[in-house]
Structure 1
């Protein structure tokens, strides 16, 4: 839950925050959101939020062939007007001449761009199990443009690289500068935490307190740079995944000074009266619990995540439409290859189904992954489209985040072996796949930006870290790797410290003493981890067994677990060996795999013989394939 991790109690009371808010004119210039739109969309309807001083008192009109002004709606605030447009098939690209006439006869004009689509909807291909996703916290990955570290007029000006929760200066240019590293490693998709404006007074680096849903944070770069990132990534075979937030916004979002309606955010009246905000109960099970009280459901859905993040009320139909169109606008603008939706179970679940449905109907080949931070596979499965839920709910999500398997993977590696402990935990966890409509679409990971780094979780054991990542990259799942996991980055000095979890990537700053992009200064263990992950990632790119093959596994014995993936003539065997001493594995038990003779060991790049017995001379992972 990206939103929860950076509060640290720094914002004080709501009343104190309000005193800090700018007094600059909010609606001095007439504008509309979305800022532009396209011809030929699956849904011909478009609702514009027009913002301007007193615009709600005007009568709008439009004269443009193929585009009709179907209706308009006033808000509680006089400074908003919502226009319902219908874009017909005979419309052509151009500028819509919107005219607004005030009661006194004055008028204002707004030119609204209507564009041709650059690509058909079918060309928007979402990430899937053929991909490996690299997750980045942009402020901590690489600083490609020090000139934008501070930005005039923004509330957090200070750059302090000694502060885990301060801004460090990483940006879009830094990511662009190192796309070759991602491609060379073998990653095929890039997910960064949000890059939109977070004009918050403190801890603005993480991105989840958005203050403008249509504006790139200038300390990260510009919209043109964001577009360039997408295009340059695509040229290297890397899809761009956008981290979005429908549940809440930042307290300093521009509309908080003049909310459109009296129900735009939850507990709006209390907040405007300076009362303490109402926190969510975080009881995500109310979405599925047939016995849940309405009081618990209401508090879960409407409560604020933290004081700095007002909870958005998607029951307001204008806000609901705004959020749906915003997501589609970004897909179209950036040629996205996916969306990751933060805190998925917290908003109204019927709205979230409508939100996902609208996107998937617009882009049939797209993909969305929702964050359900639960270790209960029943709760995770509830959100996957195609699940036969007892209440009939369908979420339209192809993918959800597999927190249950992540927890069991780490537990399996850390525990002593036993009939229901150690590697048996992993074996039994994977056996839960009967619960999911499409287990291969679940997003599996060993760590991410909200939890201790893998190397810390496995008590700084390189062998356990290697086993964890070998499993993540060979399991029947869509794998995600957190930046720096490939070089054993850790936060062991402060477990649970989210600022430290998002440590700077070595080499991303000019003064970095270690450079993981080039290998300079890495320890032998770090170099080995990076090298072996690169070998596996590159092999995986050409392996249909790992991308879409059938799966077979054997219950662990004597500290060894075997899982195999098979596609046509290719068989890939994963062995996880927890034995500290050399171990001889008897192979007769695995005869149904149908493999024999010489196999290629991917991680160590050597030939091994599969016949009778196999010697495992060290703890760690072994990946054997019939196809070199």
Structure 2
């Protein structure tokens, strides 16, 4: 009898102390401006229980059941006077059985206003972590995951790069002159193939163990902060991976778009990719729906942000990562594809909580009208306000290589650069737009420039002096290319030499690099490190002069600092400096940023070879 009583006691005690399968967000913070929090709880038949909390300052406002009985959504109010600490959430069934879940409210590490986002003073280094550096070989293969093969000879399989590899190379990135790092997603992608790129997430709160741990991710953020650098997180609000844990048990009938078709017939509707339907006055409802609700591919279910529970989930997930990692920014993937009203609400919620933060949205368009539409403050005909400070400048990204490669004429060559920059009148804030020579989805700039080293250097220098936030892709500094297979994403994301033991070439140390590679690495290092401390480039007035005889001139000016940028497409040319008399520069001393040579601005200047020239009035 005593044994039976003891067994019943043990069973009752173990049930009382059982944890639910999943509660998200896994923790929260006191002191946030928004006092509301919605918990997603997932556990067998949890929807049939009643949750109770007894913690001063925390109130259950409402409880929501889902279509699936295995979900419960709990609306909490966290009063501004609530103290950090742990408390229990007790879930009681109709039969009196209980599950106890511990939950923690952490203190904020700093005021929301102190989260400073990336801006025009920054230069961003974009990394595909799987292809950058392998810092921990022990996590190369995780046998419990769907994709276990490691094969560096295959462009679309995992190569083993990880978070620790980035941590190990922070000094290299900093010494180049970069001030922020943007790794492509490192959250769990437990997909059966192609998991290396990170954009088909199967858990929005977990670091992929093949990249490392949450502690590693925090360590990366902390090391960057110690070096005065920022971490930008790549997030995806548009879709998840088909192996996401909730796809086997969706909470509502409209959690993903075209869900009924997917569940009944395992079919999906492809996005028509008509991004202009977001602005088009004449767009049909059919086109709008297929754009916003269509799936990219069968392996990426399109999330329905019009579902209010999913909307809150995505917003809270972003805030959770901002607080957890002390982020310096977010890059939002495929920005025009989700519901645009939601995206405004998402960005608005973040910027309201963190007014000095920054988000950049990916709008892959070469039309300045579309780029400008998504920037906060735009005077859009439909009244839409995005709450998005930064968007991406695919327009100038495209024009700069064309301008340098083309033969000069009145409307071609450098005229394209001049006319393209003139479109800045359309933007609310040009300096908050992100510019780049290439990224993880397009041909390397060296390939775009047909492997012409001097033309590549001219293009790179141009991206760095414009009133923009520059972003460079890893390996650009050593002329990485994908010329053998233009457009091939796997080849574009080639391994960085020196990131793996046994690499014959090591770009981190310079061992094995060609003379051209070392030259470009040094070239960028000089410009980036000057740019790092140049108020004129960060915030100065911009003035440019129409191209003349194959020479384009741009000035950046603030107080006593003047930066002069020449693009010269001639082998040698004499520039008449009287052209620029309106700037009153005569008699001022200038220094060549690249060579250190000095001269006095007078009547003429000899540019003795083709290339980019940068001069400054700052002598130190």
Tell me the TM-score range normalised by the shorter chain. Answer: over 0.9
- Specify the SS of the correspondent of 2:381: coil
Q: Which residue of 2 aligns with 1:384?
A: 375
Shift of the alpha carbon at 1:391?
0.6
Count of paired positions = 601
Equivalent position of 2:585 in the other structure: 595
Q: Does the residue aligned with 2:516 lie in a helix, a strand or coil? A: helix
Residues of 1 paired with 2:113 and 2:181: CA distance?
Answer: 20
CA contact (8 A) 1:53 1:79 kept: yes
Aligned residue for 1:85, secondary structure, equals strand
3-state DSSP of counterpart to 2:471 = strand
- Residue pairs, 1:525-604, within 5 angstroms: 525-579=516-570, 581-597=571-587, 598-604=589-595
Deviates more, 1:481-490 or 1:36-45: 481-490
Report the 3-state secondary structure (helix = DSSP H, G, I; strand = E; otherwise coil) of the residue aligned with 2:204: strand
Q: Which of 1, 8, 30 is matched with 1:39 structurally?
A: 30
Q: Is 1:509 the equivalent of 2:500?
A: yes
Alignment partner, residue 244 of structure 1: 235
* C-alpha distance after superposition, 1:237-290 (max 9, x if no partner): 110000000000001000001001110001111111234311000000011011
Partner Cα distance (2:592, 2:386) in 1: 41
CA–CA separation in structure 2 for the residues paired with 1:86 and 1:59: 17
Which piece of structure 1 moves more, 497-506 or 267-276? 267-276
Secondary structure at 2:337's aligned position in 1?
coil
Find runs of 4+ consecutive structure 1 residues off by over 6 angstroms. Answer: none
Q: What whole-Å deviation, never above 9, does each CA across 1:148-182 have from its counterpart, x for those lacking one?
A: 00012111100100111111100000000000011
Q: Is the 8 A contact 2:121 2:538 kept in 1?
A: yes
Deviations 1:390-433 (A, max 9, x none): 11100000000000010111111121111111010010000000
1:493 maps to 484
Give how far 1:28 is off: 9.0
Q: What's the secondary structure of 1:212's corresponding residue?
A: coil
Corresponding position of 2:69? 78
Q: Does structure 1 conserve the Cα–Cα contact (< 8 Å) formed by 2:30 and 2:106? A: yes
**Pick aligned residue for 1:334 from 314, 325, 333:** 325
Q: Which residue of 1 aligns with 2:422?
A: 431
Q: Secondary structure at the match of 1:114?
A: strand
Q: Distance in 2 between matches of 1:101 and 1:33?
A: 19
Equivalent residue of 1:574, what SS?
strand
Q: How many Å separate the matches in 2 of 1:433 and 1:512?
A: 44
User: What does residue range 402-481 of structure 1 map to in structure 2 within 5 Å?
Assistant: 402-481=393-472
Deviations 1:293-338 (A, max 9, x none): 0010000000001111000000100000000000000000000000
Q: Distance in 1 between matches of 2:388 and 2:446?
A: 31
Residue 297 (structure 2) aligns with: 306
Deviates most, 604-613 or 585-594 = 604-613
In 2, distance between residues paired with 1:596 and 1:539?
A: 23
Higher CA-based Rg: 2
Q: SS in structure 1 opposite 2:23?
A: strand
Q: Give the deviation of 1:538 after TM superposition.
A: 0.8
Distance 2:594 2:484 in 1: 30
- Cα deviation, 1:442-500, whole Å, max 9, x if unaligned, reads 00111111100000001111111111111111111111111111111110011000011
Q: Given that residues 196 and 216 in structure 1 are in contact (C-alpha distance below 8 angstroms), is that contact kept between their aligned partners in structure 2?
A: yes
C-alpha distance in structure 2 between counterparts of 1:362 and 1:289, whole Å: 32
Q: Residues 11-22 of structure 1 correspond to what in structure 2 (within 5 A)?
A: none
Structure 2: where are the runs of 5+ without partners?
1-17
**Preserved contact between residue 444 and residue 492 of structure 2 (Cα < 8 Å):** yes
After TM superposition, the structure 1 = structure 2 runs for residues 46-61 of structure 1, keeping only pairs within 5 Å, are 46-61=37-52
User: What is the DSSP-based 3-state SS (H/G/I as helix, E as strand, rest coil) of the residue aligned with 2:205?
Assistant: strand
Q: How far 1:609 moved relative to its partner?
A: 4.2
Q: Following the alignment from structure 1 to structure 2, what is the Cα–Cα distance between the partners of residues 239 and 344?
A: 22
Distance 2:91 2:534 in 1: 59
Instruction: State the alpha-carbon separation in 2 of the partners of residues 131 and 566 from structure 1.
Output: 18
Task: Say which is worse superposed, 393-402 or 269-278, in terms of deviation.
Answer: 269-278
Alpha-carbon contact 1:28-1:53 (below 8 Å) kept = no
- Quote the Cα distance in structure 1 between the aligned partners of 2:216 and 2:565: 41
Whole-angstrom CA distance in 1 between matches of 2:173 and 2:617: 27
Q: Aligned residue for 2:176?
A: 185
Cross-structure match for 1:296: 287
Following the alignment from structure 1 to structure 2, what is the Cα–Cα distance between the partners of residues 605 and 276? Answer: 63
What's the offset of the Cα at 1:106? 0.9
Is 1:30–1:110's contact at 8 Å kept on the other side of the alignment? no
Does the 8 A contact of 2:19 with 2:99 survive in 1? no
Structure 1 residue runs of 5 or longer lacking an equivalent are 1-26
